[in-house]
Amino acid sequence: MDRVALRGLKARGHHGVFPKEREEGQTFLVDLVLGLDTRPAAADDDLAKTVHYGIVAEEVVAVVEGEPVNLVETLAERIAQVCLKHEGVEEVEVCVHKPDAPITVPFDDVTVTITRSRV
């Protein structure tokens, strides 16, 4: 299976279990790896035969900016389901970064990574 990756999609969301997170929001970053067969697109040099990653990026940002959820796990699942709706995408790895998570000790990042497939 071939891979198309989008790294560092950035959007502001209001996800989290704490009232401050819901009220003020924070930046989330998303990395995606889409699994699909790119041979038909390559053979015909045809965008219609592969995934349009620009559209995927817009849809993922809309999910992050959309309806708030408590858990990053839930956000990652919603993003995965949006990606799998694209014809040809057989699997997706989603990594959601929450670099401003409300943690009381120094840290660089918090991530949740999931892999989902049509099967």
Give me the active site residues, please.
98
Distance CA 49, CA 37 (A): 9
Coil vs helix vs strand at 40: helix
Q: Is 74 within 8 Å of 96 (Cβ atoms)? A: no
Q: Which helix (H) or strand (E) holds 56?
A: helix 53-65
Closest by CA to 101, choosing from 13, 33, 9, 31, is 13
Q: What are phi and psi of 30, to 5 degrees?
A: -130, 130
